[in-house]
Structure 1
Amino acid sequence: MRSVKVQDYMNRHPVKFTRSMPVETAVSMLVSANQSGGPVIDEHGAVIGFLSEQDCLAMMLEGTYHKEQSATVEDCMSAEVVTVNSDMAILDLAQQLGNQRPKVYPVVDYANQLVGVISRTDVLRAIDLHLRDSYANH
């Protein structure tokens, strides 16, 4: 199971945002992609934040969403981001998931460049497939 890596199950084409993007645009992208959140990247592709459905809902409920001056992703995003490395073992990530809040984790390389995202569902799928394979081989 240690040989099963994050990169084997991550989404390589996630919805991603820039800090200056209007929240309305970000919400449309999340809904279209059926993703519960996504990384915010700078002009070099480095992860600088995370925007979740929860962040967007909070902004919408504040009323800022419908005012003339639109909120940006930077106004809503969380700057504290838990990232994982693409060569991390799925089993290690599963053990870390425990009580942590995020459901989606940006996957980065060693230069902190975004290479994808992995969700709790992806981790569950990886473990399930591995267990099915091991049962089938016995």
Structure 2
Amino acid sequence: MHSFLEQIVADHMTSTPKVVTRDLTLRELCDLFQRDDFNTYPVEDRSQVIGVVSKLDVLSRFVFTPARIMPRHDDLMNLTAIDVMTPEFIYVGRETKLTRVLELIVNHRIRSMPVIETGQRLAGIISRSDVLRALQRCSHGA
């Protein structure tokens, strides 16, 4: 188990994650969420990560209260990723220890986070499943 303490993101992340562009509509995002069964996508603009968009970001647009009048369904579905994304997000670097990733995942209750390089460029994505696999490998001495 001590080997887990030395594990870094670069050895366990997905190096070629799926991303979305800022102009992808909610209709298209819903299709992607359904098809890929992902919870979150990084949002890129000119090869830089500008935010993340999650199923929760999309669903929150459909919550209506007395203070929030219900727009037409088509108007909502034509919103774009940049309209609903979270522009301030938690990310890590390739050399970040998995112990730090585990702490972030647990403390912020997130399922995955982008791995960012210099210039806000996406290097990969690290998820709960990746950390669980690393824990399991380390506990078996593999």
Q: Indicate the TM-score class for this superposition, using the shorter chain for normalisation.
A: 0.7 to 0.9
Match for 2:88: what amino acid?
E
Give ranges in structure 2 of 5+ residues lacking alignment. Answer: 65-69
- Identify which of structures 1 and 2 has the higher relative contact order when contacts are C-alpha pairs closer than 8 Å and 6+ apart: 2
Match for 1:102: what amino acid?
I
Alignment TM-score, normalising by the size of structure 2: 0.81
Task: Give the match's secondary structure for 1:98.
Answer: helix
Q: Answer yes or no: is the 8 Å Cα contact 2:12–2:130 preserved in 1.
A: yes
Alignment TM-score, normalising by the size of structure 1: 0.84
Task: Give, in angstroms, the shift of residue 82 of structure 1.
Answer: 0.8
Task: Give, in angstroms, the shift of residue 95 of structure 1.
Answer: 2.5
1:10 and 2:13 equivalent? Answer: yes
1:27 aligns with one of 27, 30, 40: 30
Give ranges in structure 1 of 5+ residues lacking alignment. Answer: none
2:137 aligns with one of 125, 129, 138: 129
Show the counterpart of 1:40: 43
Show the counterpart of 1:50: 52
After the TM superposition, which of the residue ranges 64-73 and 91-100 deviates more from structure 2? 64-73
Match for 2:38: what amino acid?
Q
Task: Give, in angstroms, the shift of residue 99 of structure 1.
Answer: 1.8
Show the counterpart of 1:59: 61
Q: Answer yes or no: is the 8 Å Cα contact 1:65–1:71 preserved in 2.
A: no
1:95 aligns with one of 100, 103, 109: 103
Task: Give, in angstroms, the shift of residue 68 of structure 1.
Answer: 4.6
Percent identity reads 26
Match for 1:53: what amino acid?
K
